[in-house]
Amino acid sequence: MNILVTGAAGFIGAALCRVLIDRGDQVAGVDDLNAYYDVNLKKARLEELTGAPNFLFHELDICNRTEVSDLFSSSDFDRVVNLAAQAGVRYSIENPSAYIDTNLVGFGNILEGCRHQKIDHLVYASSSSVYGSNIKLPFSETDNVDHPISLYAATKKANELMAHAYADLYQLPTTGLRFFTVYGPWGRPDMALFKFTKGILDNKPIPVYNRGEMVRDFTYIDDIVEGVVRAIDRPPLLDSDDENKDCSAVRTTPYKIYNIGNGHPVPLMRYIQALENALGKKAQLELLPMQPGDVRATEADVSRLVSDLGYRPQIDVETGVARFVEWYCDYYGVQLSD
């Protein structure tokens, strides 16, 4: 297949491109290489891909309607995976315009490209953040998600609604993937594991919010990518809109939503302990109150992922964190003491 992947220099995007390239797909990668975090890390991810004959990179901002339209019209994509987004819950409080531009305007441009070029299937990144202030665990795709507590979450919920409208109006098959706390090698420097590792190695206190009384459904990058690939290969059918199957006023559409999470939530302190064990060094903890826009616990109900796509994420945090530390030390030239 000829597959477009936006956000190709990102954490998940680069890992996905590698798998698609290796299985023989023709992959077009798009990224604007913005400076939200270290651009050198993004370029290093791309260097792992650019030698492949079946990979072509386009430096492009999905907010640019003309450039997106030209890319679609000059290509013959079978399927599209939209992973380009402004990420981060806390950053959305400081810089909301970045989320409006990329997550809403940019996603709208991708939808239009898919519509006009009659793409077979659009897969896009949503987030566990859409569950907002829900207190029922585990989170299920059929739960009400009308109460986001961050702008980031609101934009991801908006993506799901926009995708549903295009699926219904234009019969564009769309699949949204709600990712749960992704971590692993080549991760983002703004994420907890990266910050914790650097802090411990630098002998500095690491910030631990809600005084460590947090639970997360940590999901290893390889498990995320496997779920994305399976979703790509299975476009939803016309009768697959079971998000609203109990509402007789809603027509069926080729639309699906999946949680992709480990399904086994882990206390934050166990996560930190796994990192301490991998580094061979204790952390200094700076215990802080809960941050605005954050939640105490997340947990994914993955029964739909299992039943529809035949997949259940498997990597435990001890294994995943150890793999991250191995990559981190290799990439940054860190020598751990015995």
Q: Which residue has the tokens 């940590």?
A: 218
CA-closest candidate to residue 63, choices 110, 96, 114, 28: 110
Inter-residue contact 257 to 160 (CB < 8 Å): yes
CA distance 243 to 202: 47
**What type of residue sits at position 237?**
L
DSSP reduced 3-state for 309: helix
How many CB atoms are located within 10 Å of the residue 14 CB?
Answer: 26
C-beta of residue 316 within 8 angstroms of C-beta of residue 271: no
Residues 6+ positions from 193 with CB-CB distance below 8 Å: 183, 187, 271, 275, 321, 324
Query: Up-side HSE of residue 230: CA atoms within 13 Å toward CB?
Result: 21
152 is a catalytic site residue? yes
Which of the 8 DSSP states describes residue 54? Answer: T
36, 91, 131, 152: the active-site residue: 152
Question: What CA–CA distance (Å, rounded) separates 313 from 302?
Answer: 9
Dihedral Cα 313, 317, 322, 325, nearest 10 deg:
100
Using alpha carbons, select from 165, 20, 159, 105 the residue that is nearest to residue 4.
20
By three-state DSSP, how is residue 28 classified?
strand
* Long-range Cβ contacts of 266-270 (<8 Å, 24+ apart): 266/215, 266/216, 266/217, 266/218, 266/317, 267/212, 267/214, 267/215, 268/208, 268/212, 268/213, 268/214, 268/215, 268/216, 269/212, 270/317
Q: Contact 84/11 with Cβ under 8 angstroms? A: no
Active site residues: 152
